Amino acid sequence: MIRELRESLIKKFYEKSEPFLFLTEKEFSESFKDWTMICHPDKEDPAFVAFVKGPEFHFVSMERRVPLSLKTIKDFLRVIIKHKGYALTRTPHEDKRQQRFNELIGFQKISEDEYDIHYRIEKI
């Protein structure tokens, strides 16, 4: 059951992210095989899902219109920073809304590639 749930959530993540991706659904799914999945508030019907591998994370809303507080986001990042010393994420060049949010939280741009801006945060 957990495997099916994970596959279902990755599929939803792909569908939401697909306009910004240059991967097939299978390639996208495979890219998360070694990542830990964290569901909030629960696994059965999460409003938000995070995938974490070392200091890197990717966070996606499941569009349930359930607000995720700034405190919850900061608490999540504090755990990664406490264990790894920093947190990393990437945002597509086209996703201006997410870029503004990353910078509001305190992320710093550290690099770019042809698809994404890479961000790092060391403290909240």
DSSP 79: H
CATH of residue 97:
3.40.630.30
Domain that residue 77 falls in: 2-121
Q: 23: number of CA atoms within 13 Å, CB side?
A: 15
Give per-residue pLDDT as tens, 24-36.
999 999 998 899 9
Q: So what's the pLDDT on residue 108?
A: 97
Q: Which residue has the tokens 């095989």?
A: 33
**What is the pTM assigned to this prediction?**
0.81
CB 23 within 8 A of CB 10: no
Q: How many domains does the chain have?
A: 1
Question: What single-letter amino acid sits at 65?
Answer: R
Q: What is the pLDDT of residues 65-113, one digit of tens each?
A: 666 788 888 989 999 999 999 999 999 898 899 999 999 999 999 999 9
Q: Select from 26, 23, 82, 77 the least CA-distant residue to 52.
A: 77
